[in-house]
C-alpha cells in the first residue's frame, strides 16, 4: 500500500527499459511460459533464446506432445542445456497433468520440477494470479532493498510478498526480474538510475547484500573414457545416476586399459567438480555397455558435452585413416 509511489516508478522504468520483446511474454498460454521458466532456471536468457527455446517448441509444440513422447526424445531436445533433471521432470510433469497445466500456483507446485518460484511465475504470467516470485534477480533486490545480509528463506518470501503490487502481478514480477538483471546487478549495481532507490535501505552498500557465500574447493578427477569398437559399432552406456541421468555416453573407469590407442584428452567443468578424460580406443566386446551403435545411430541419442567432444575425436580418427 505505502509502496504505491515505488510501484509507479518501477512501472515507469519498466515501460521504457523492460525486455518486452522476449517471446514468452505477451502470451497467456501456460505451456510456453512454463517451458521458458524451466529452461531459464540457472541459465542465461541469451542461451535459452538463441539455441533452445524455439527448436524445442518446434519439436514439441504442445505439452501434450511432450507427454506422448519418450523421455529420451525430450532429453535429446534438451541436449547442451544442462541440468537434465529439468528435462526428465518436464516429461514427468507433462505426463502427470496429461498435457494440461493446472490453473493455480498451489496446484502447479505439486507437479515434478515445479517449486514455489516457478509455480508463482507461471501463475502470475499465465493467469495473472497476484503472487510474487523470488528468482535470483528478485532475491538480490529483496536482500538489498530490506538490507538483509543472510536472511532465512521464510523471511525472503515474506518480504517479496510484502513488496508485491497485487493489482498488477504480471508487470510487477516481470519488471522486478528486468530490474535485477539490468540495474540491481551482482557487481556494480546502478543505484543512480534505480526506480526503487528512494526506499532502498541497502543502497549505501549494495554489494554487502546478500552476504558473499563461502567458496568451497572444487575437486578434480582424472579418468579414462573407453571408446569400445566391436563389429563396426560403438559401445555406449545409458547413465542411470543423477549426474547426466538418462543420457548415453562412453564408459568411464579410473585406470587406463591394458592395450589402447589414445584418441585425445577432454576437460570439462561440471557444477561441483572438474573432470579430465583420456579417450582410449579399445577393441572387443567389453562389459559395461548398454548398447552398440553406428555413428548415425549415435547422432539421434542424447549425449553430454564431454561425450560429444570424445565422439568428435572418434569421427576425426576414422576420417583421417
Partner DNA sequence: GAAGCGTGGCG
Partner DNA sequence: TCGCCAAGCTT
The span from the CA of 32 to the CA of 29, in Å, is 6
Asked if 84 is part of the footprint of DNA (rule: CB under 7 A), the reply reads: yes
Q: Which of 31, 118, 236, 279 binds DNA (CB under 7 A)?
A: 118
Asked if 20 is part of the footprint of DNA (rule: CB under 7 A), the reply reads: no
Q: Which of 2, 215, 231, 240 binds DNA (CB under 7 A)?
A: 215
Looking up cell 543423477 gives 242
CA angle 78, 82, 84 (to 5 degrees): 65
Q: Interface with DNA by CB under 7 A: which range of 20-28, 58-66, 226-234, 250-258? A: 20-28
- When the beta carbons of 201 and 305 are compared against DNA, the nearer one is 305
- Catalytic hit among 37, 107, 190, 241: 37
Asked if 141 is part of the footprint of DNA (rule: CB under 7 A), the reply reads: no
Asked if 47 is part of the footprint of DNA (rule: CB under 7 A), the reply reads: yes
Asked if 218 is part of the footprint of DNA (rule: CB under 7 A), the reply reads: yes
Q: Which of 46, 188, 192, 321 binds DNA (CB under 7 A)?
A: 46
DSSP class of residue 49 equals I
Asked if 252 is part of the footprint of DNA (rule: CB under 7 A), the reply reads: no
> Could you please report the per-residue DSSP string of 183-211?
TS-SSS--GGG-TTGGG-TTTTSGGGSSP
Of the candidates 176, 79, 164, 98, which has an alpha carbon nearest to the alpha carbon of residue 137? 176
- When the beta carbons of 40 and 101 are compared against DNA, the nearer one is 40
Asked if 264 is part of the footprint of DNA (rule: CB under 7 A), the reply reads: no
37 is catalytic: yes
CA angle 244, 249, 255 (to 5 degrees): 100
Q: Phi, psi (5° rounding) for residue 146? A: -100, 5
Asked if 55 is part of the footprint of DNA (rule: CB under 7 A), the reply reads: no
Q: Which of 119, 163, 227, 263 binds DNA (CB under 7 A)?
A: 119
Question: SS3 of 309, please?
Answer: helix
For residue 221, what are the β-bridge partners?
Answer: 275
- When the beta carbons of 184 and 282 are compared against DNA, the nearer one is 184
Q: Hey, which residues are catalytic here?
A: 37
Amino acid at each position: 500500500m505505502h509502496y504505491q509511489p515505488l510501484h509507479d516508478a518501477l512501472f515507469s522504468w519498466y515501460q521504457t527499459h523492460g525486455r518486452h520483446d522476449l517471446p514468452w511474454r505477451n502470451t497467456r498460454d501456460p505451456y510456453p511460459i512454463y517451458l521458458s521458466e524451466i529452461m531459464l532456471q540457472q541459465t542465461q536468457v541469451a542461451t535459452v533464446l538463441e539455441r533452445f527455446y524455439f527448436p524445442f517448441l518446434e519439436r514439441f509444440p504442445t505439452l501434450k506432445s511432450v507427454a506422448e513422447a519418450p523421455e529420451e526424445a525430450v532429453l535429446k531436445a534438451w541436449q547442451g542445456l544442462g541440468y537434465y533433471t529439468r528435462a526428465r521432470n518436464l516429461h514427468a510433469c507433462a505426463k502427470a497433468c496429461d498435457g494440461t497445466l493446472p490453473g493455480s500456483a498451489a496446484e502447479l507446485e505439486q507437479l515434478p520440477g515445479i517449486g514455489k518460484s516457478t509455480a508463482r511465475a507461471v501463475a502470475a504470467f499465465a493467469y495473472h494470479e497476484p503472487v510474487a516470485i523470488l528468482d535470483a534477480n528478485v532475491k538480490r533486490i529483496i536482500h538489498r532493498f530490506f538490507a538483509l545480509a543472510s536472511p532465512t528463506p521464510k523471511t525472503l518470501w515474506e518480504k517479496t510478498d510484502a513488496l508485491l503490487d497485487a493489482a498488477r502481478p504480471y508487470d510487477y514480477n516481470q519488471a522486478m526480474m528486468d530490474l535485477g538483471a539490468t540495474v540491481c546487478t551482482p557487481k556494480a549495481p546502478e543505484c543512480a538510475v534505480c526506480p526503487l532507490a528512494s526506499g532502498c535501505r541497502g543502497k549505501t552498500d549494495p554489494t554487502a547484500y546478500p552476504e558473499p557465500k563461502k567458496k568451497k574447493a572444487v575437486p578434480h578427477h582424472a579418468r579414462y573414457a573407453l571408446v569400445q569398437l566391436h563389429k563396426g559399432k560403438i559401445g555406449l552406456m545409458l547413465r542411470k545416476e543423477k549426474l547426466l541421468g538418462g543420457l548415453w555416453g562412453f564408459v568411464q573407469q579410473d585406470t587406463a586399459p591394458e592395450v589402447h590407442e589414445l584418441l585425445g584428452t577432454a576437460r570439462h567443468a561440471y557444477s561441483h567438480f572438474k573432470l579430465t578424460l583420456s579417450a582410449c580406443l579399445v577393441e572387443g566386446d567389453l562389459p559395461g555397455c548398454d548398447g552398440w551403435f553406428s555413428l548415425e545411430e549415435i547422432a539421434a541419442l542424447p549425449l553430454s558435452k564431454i561425450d560429444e567432444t570424445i565422439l568428435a575425436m572418434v569421427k576425426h580418427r576414422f576420417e583421417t585413416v
